[in-house]
Amino acid sequence: MAKLEVELLPFDVPHLVYQKVKPGKRGDGFNEKRQQSYAIADLDDATLDQLCREFRINVFAHAGRNPPESR
C-alpha cells in the first residue's frame, strides 16, 4: 500500500460575525441592511470561546464524526 502525505492549509479565520435576524415579512423583500456584523476583535472572551466551540462541533458534524474530547 502506498502512502501519500500532503500539508493542508488551516481553515480561514473570519474577521466578522453576523447577528442572527428574525425573518421579515414576505412583502418587504430582501433587506441586507438588517443583518448587523461585529468584528471578532470586539467580542468578549466568553463569546469568542463559545463561537469557536460551536464551529468545532459543526466541523466534525459536517465530517460525520463526533469531536474527540478536548485536551
Confidence at residue 39, expressed as pLDDT on a 0 to 100 scale: 98
Asked whether the beta carbons of 67 and 43 are under 8 A apart, the reply is no
Helical (H) or strand (E) element with 48: helix 45-62
Tell me the per-residue pLDDT of 12-67, one tens digit each, with 9 for 90 and over.
999 999 998 877 777 766 665 667 999 999 999 999 999 999 999 999 999 999 99
Q: How far apart are CA 16 and CA 42, in angstroms?
A: 9
Q: Greatest CA separation found in the chain?
A: 61
Confidence at residue 59, expressed as pLDDT on a 0 to 100 scale: 96
The residue ranges of every structural domain in the chain are: 40-66
Confidence at residue 35, expressed as pLDDT on a 0 to 100 scale: 79
Confidence at residue 22, expressed as pLDDT on a 0 to 100 scale: 77
Q: Is the dihedral of CA 69, 56, 23, 46 positive or negative?
A: positive
pLDDT category of residue 70 using cuts at 50, 70 and 90: low
